Amino acid sequence: MNRTLSSLVLLYCLCFTACKKEGGEPSENYAIVATIDGNVKSYTYTPTAVMLDAFDAYSVGMAAYTDASVNDIFTLNILKQSELGAIVPGTYVDDYTNEDVFVLGGFNLGSMDDAEAYGAGLQEGTDPKLTITITELTDKIIRGTFSGTFFDHGGDGPGKVSVTDGKFYLPVVK
């Protein structure tokens, strides 16, 4: 199961960071917004949530860019073993108590330098864990909140930033 979920995590990362939809339009309604180390940041360009039921796992991957000209992206991912049921509204925490559910996130602030890429969901310790709360989920939209500690170097650290007051409202693609 861990190999399957790890493969899905890599698939999401590649899908969301390797390409940006051409001709995407910014949306005033759909967005990922968060306070990153005290600064409010909005991601409104090509906002998308992808839901999958494959490889004995359910998953939802969410992503949005700041604009068309930069690779400044924010992603959130939840992966859950199929036998536990589908992803539904509720709270998902990266707390290492359940090896069959992964809660991951990342952003890169426009740089392709690994030191500038921040990730959550890979660290143990006492820092606030990435928490994603889905408040609404239909076949058309996903809405909710998130917060947690993100680490530089793609989540390996040692540097870290606090992400608070996160909100997402995205169209769902299946």
pTM of the model: 0.83
Nearest C-alpha neighbor of 105 from the set 64, 54, 56, 158: 64
**Extents of the domains making up the chain:** 2-173
Q: Within 13 Å of residue 11, how many CA atoms lie on the same side as its CB?
A: 16
Q: Quote the strand ranges of the chain, DSSP E.
A: 31-36, 39-43, 45-54, 57-65, 73-81, 90-93, 101-107, 118-120, 131-137, 141-151, 160-173
What single-letter DSSP state applies at residue 4?
Answer: H
Q: Are 169 and 29 in contact (CB under 8 A)?
A: yes
Question: Left (φ > 0), alpha (ψ -120 to 50) or beta: where does 110 sit?
Answer: left
Q: What is the pLDDT along the chain (174 residues), one digit of tens a residue?
A: 443 444 344 334 434 443 444 444 444 599 999 999 999 999 999 999 999 988 888 999 999 999 887 788 999 999 998 888 889 999 999 877 667 889 999 998 777 788 889 999 877 778 889 999 999 999 999 999 999 999 988 777 888 999 999 999 999 987
